């Protein structure tokens, strides 16, 4: 049986792409030096897959930032404001991803959203009326030939036209339907060109097919692919992932695809769909090896699934990953500190290549070793924690009194001005902050010195915010490496890796902790830092300082979860642990507590019919459980970012927080109308500027954003804040941006 990998991690085993890109942004290396790093990373990835015996290896799955942005460039979908900058192709690419500010011009970045149900973010393509679709397949051609020069024959991987158009924004007079013909012609030309390069296969990724489809969607797909596939001379693999294609399976069989890739991990109905027919002349690329988790595959179960698939599909069967391996760490080889009794249960991207080969070849020794691994008990259950979850009652999830009564109490309690200003939590993580934290972990910095350093930083941060004039302060989070990992380090049931980095967006990589066993709080986590920060404020402004926590759903969604218990049970375990922290903060005199749920929407099923039964019916209560025991005077904030929240806006209101801040700057404040239409009761702070861009927003720009917000959000409920935490930004731009934010609030109050 042949094997296929949809895509491979591009940042490198040691995040080489991240560091090279950041050096390029800082002007420390040239364009050619950055390109050389990229070439080495691609070469390593291709040869790893070839040496593992993978038959279908992808080229063009690499990107300096995001494949959707690459596709925009391939089709010439570059808005006029970026063309006017007259930058190089690479710098225009980065301007669209990160924003740009110099004497040549000042532009914000394109919107950024979550890629389906993952923590990866894509850059949203934008069609304005200046766009003329024209194929430029230079990148795909060069990377295909590059792989060939190393003796690696690849399938050319490109985001498909249906998914590209469905995820795009159309900001001019011309709308989606006006571009169908030109986009289809460009892809048709791409197929012809790829054949001329010598490619045998082209992989068109169409994950949007696993979403609910309307008759218009089906007509769009039909219009695109009837043109694209007409008289094709190259084999075409239609690749889907993150779910099943229940709305379109029969129709897919009628198209002249040479291969169809289906996800049998997240695609709940994929196996059942095969009962509706097959194509003996078409290869089925069966995604049976999970591309999103880090646990070793159970060979016996996977082989049994393959047998069932083989019994239904009469054509060739190719063993594949369920999605790109972009969503898992690179290799376990860099994990030097983890016990082998733990590490033996893990398979990162490189190890999954071996798993594919062993399953495909049905290697007896490998199967026996795998069988023994799954016969042993990995971790013993904690009966006390299980009992706490089992004994939860309905009242444990309800905060009293009702929101309106709490809101009135809190208005009197805090006496904040109209349009109160705050930040999301973190302040710039400078080199000395990282060095202090690293030294403490390595033992070269004593606990006393570590605490003293952070206290000095907190005091400086409080003083800075008071000087700037912010109304609700934060302590800066100088003790934290990551908003999930930091909490996981203080929870029993979690384990941590050294180098299991996963790309979140662009140069941003995260190192998700692993839920190993039952979860409970070991000791207070943030209380002392928050108390110290509030004591600093009490000496001068007496302004409230927010206690900063990460919510249970985000902690779970940004971890690698267990597979032996349900997500619901894991979420409730974490919620009980964070609830203890919330109540301890309240006892310590912290009057505002922010419980971030940045990843709330991440695990939302892609099909609306499954939203409540599979997710919302436990995700929203998990958040409610965390804060339901608080006094009415305690103001609970939450924060969300970079997801399409409009469809679940009513569910967000049911979280019963007092204030919610969320990303809105990159999405042109689209969520505001939904807030008004749904009579959203929670006080809100839509982000007024994009912290993922180095540019400094002007006072006028922020005032204009707030004026727009006022049309949709009652003035008494509107907060002013950045769209996310500030830890990735520089100090100079942060101070300048916040001063402009506060001045904009003052002008708006007038």
Residues assigned a catalytic role:
692
CA distance 262 to 286: 6
The answer to whether residues 204 and 225 touch, using CB atoms and an 8 Å cutoff, is no
**Environment class of 91 (CB within 10 Å of its CB; exposed 0-12, middle 13-18, buried 19+):** middle
DSSP H stretches of helix in 150-214: 161-166, 180-197
Residues comprising the chain, all counted: 750
Closest C-alpha to 135, from 172, 182, 95, 79: 182
414 vs 399: CA distance, rounded Å: 20
Contact criterion met (CB below 8 Å) for 100 and 106: yes
Structural tokens at position 39: 């070439």
Contact call for residues 183 and 220 (beta carbons, < 8 A): no
The secondary structure of residue 612, as a DSSP letter, is: I
Asked if 552 and 574 touch (Cβ cutoff 8 Å), the reply is yes
Strand positions, DSSP E, 337-490: none
Q: Are 637 and 658 in contact (CB under 8 A)?
A: yes
Asked if 159 and 68 touch (Cβ cutoff 8 Å), the reply is: yes
Nearest CA-CA partner of 684 in 628, 732, 723, 632: 723
Tokens 């540019």 found at: 695
List the structure tokens of 591. Answer: 């009057």
Structure tokens at 309: 């698939």
- Element (DSSP H or E) covering residue 534: helix 527-538
Interior CA angle at 184 toward 182 and 186, to 5°?
70
Separation CA 45–CA 742 (nearest Å): 48
Beta bridge partners, 121, equal 114
Cα separations in angstroms, 78 against 93, 102, 125, 129, 361 = 9, 19, 8, 10, 46
Q: What is the crossing angle of helices 299-312 and 349-361, to 10°?
A: 60
The answer to whether the CB of 126 falls within 8 A of the CB of 68 is no
Helix H or strand E segment including 363: none
Which helix (H) or strand (E) segment holds residue 630: the answer is none
Helix (H) / strand (E) element for 671: namely: helix 671-677
């Amino acid at each position: 049986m042949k094997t296929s990998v949809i895509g491979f991690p591009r940042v490198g085993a040691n995040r080489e792409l991240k560091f090279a890109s950041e050096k390029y942004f800082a002007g420390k290396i040239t364009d050619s030096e950055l390109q050389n790093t990229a070439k080495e990373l691609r070469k390593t990835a291709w040869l790893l897959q070839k040496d593992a015996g993978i038959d279908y290896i992808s080229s063009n799955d690499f990107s300096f930032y995001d494949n959707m942005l690459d596709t925009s460039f391939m089709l010439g979908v570059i808005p006029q404001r970026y063309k006017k900058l007259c930058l190089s192709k690479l710098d225009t690419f980065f301007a669209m991803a990160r924003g740009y500010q110099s004497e040549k011009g000042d532009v914000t970045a394109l919107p950024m959203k979550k890629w389906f149900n993952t923590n990866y973010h894509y850059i949203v393509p934008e069609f304005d009326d200046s766009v003329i679709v024209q194929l430029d397949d230079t990148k795909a051609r060069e990377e295909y030939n590059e792989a060939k020069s190393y003796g690696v024959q690849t399938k050319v991987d490109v985001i498909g036209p249906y998914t590209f158009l469905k995820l795009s924004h159309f900001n001019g007079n011309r709308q989606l339907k006006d571009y169908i013909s030109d986009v289809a012609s460009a892809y048709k030309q791409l197929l012809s060109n790829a054949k001329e390069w010598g490619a045998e296969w082209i992989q068109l990724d169409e994950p949007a097919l696993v979403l609910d489809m309307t008759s218009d969607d089906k007509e769009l797909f039909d219009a695109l692919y009837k043109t694209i596939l007409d008289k094709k001379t190259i084999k075409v693999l239609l690749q889907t992932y993150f779910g099943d294609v229940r709305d379109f399976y029969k129709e897919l069989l009628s198209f002249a695809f040479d291969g169809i890739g289906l996800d049998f991990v997240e695609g709940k109905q994929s196996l059942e769909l095969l009962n509706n027919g097959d194509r003996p002349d078409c290869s089925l690329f069966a995604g049976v090896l999970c591309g999103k988790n880090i646990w070793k595959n159970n060979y016996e179960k996977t082989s049994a699934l393959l047998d069932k698939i083989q019994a239904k599909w009469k054509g060739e069967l190719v063993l594949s990953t369920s999605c790109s391996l972009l969503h898992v760490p690179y290799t376990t080889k860099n994990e030097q500190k983890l016990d082998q009794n733990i590490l033996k249960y893990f398979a990162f991207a490189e190890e999954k290549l071996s798993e594919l080969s062993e399953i495909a070849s049905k290697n007896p020794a490998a199967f026996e070793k795998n069988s023994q691994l799954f016969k042993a008990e990995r971790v013993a259950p904690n009966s006390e924690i299980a009992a706490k979850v089992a004994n939860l009652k309905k009242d444990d999830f309800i905060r009293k009194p009702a929101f309106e009564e709490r809101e009135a109490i809190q208005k009197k309690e805090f006496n904040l001005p109209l349009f109160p200003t705050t930040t999301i939590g973190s302040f710039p993580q400078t080199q000395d902050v990282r060095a202090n934290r690293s030294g403490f972990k390595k033992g070269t910095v004593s606990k006393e010195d570590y605490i003293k350093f952070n206290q000095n930083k907190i005091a400086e941060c409080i003083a800075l915010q008071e000087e700037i004039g912010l109304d609700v302060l934060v302590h800066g989070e100088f003790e934290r490496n990551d908003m999930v990992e930091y909490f996981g380090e203080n929870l029993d049931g979690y384990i941590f890796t050294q180098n299991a980095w996963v790309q979140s967006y662009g140069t941003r990589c995260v190192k998700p902790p692993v839920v190993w066993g039952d979860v409970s709080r070991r000791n207070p986590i943030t209380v002392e830092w928050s108390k110290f920060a509030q004591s600093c404020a009490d000496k001068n402004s007496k302004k409230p300082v927010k206690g900063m926590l990460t919510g249970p759903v985000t902690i779970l969604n940004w971890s690698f979860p267990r597979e032996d218990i349900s997500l619901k049970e894991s979420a409730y375990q974490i919620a009980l642990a964070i609830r203890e922290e919330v109540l301890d903060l309240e006892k310590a005199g912290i009057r505002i507590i922010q419980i971030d749920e940045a990843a709330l929407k991440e695990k939302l099923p892609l099909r609306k019919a499954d939203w409540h039964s599979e997710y919302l019916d436990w995700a929203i209560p998990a958040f409610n459980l965390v804060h339901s025991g608080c006094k009415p005077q305690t103001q609970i904030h939450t924060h969300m970012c970079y997801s399409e929240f409009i469809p679940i806006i009513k569910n967000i209101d049911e979280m019963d927080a007092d204030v919610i801040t969320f990303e809105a700057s990159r999405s042109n404040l689209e969520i505001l109308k939904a807030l008004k239409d749904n009579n959203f009761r929670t006080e809100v702070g839509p982000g007024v500027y994009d912290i993922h861009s180095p540019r400094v927003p002007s006072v006028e720009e922020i005032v204009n954003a707030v004026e727009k917000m006022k049309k949709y959000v009652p003035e008494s409920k509107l907060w002013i804040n950045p769209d996310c935490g500030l830890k990735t930004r520089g100090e100079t731009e942060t101070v300048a941006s916040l001063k402009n934010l506060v001045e904009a609030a003052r002008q708006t109050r007038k």
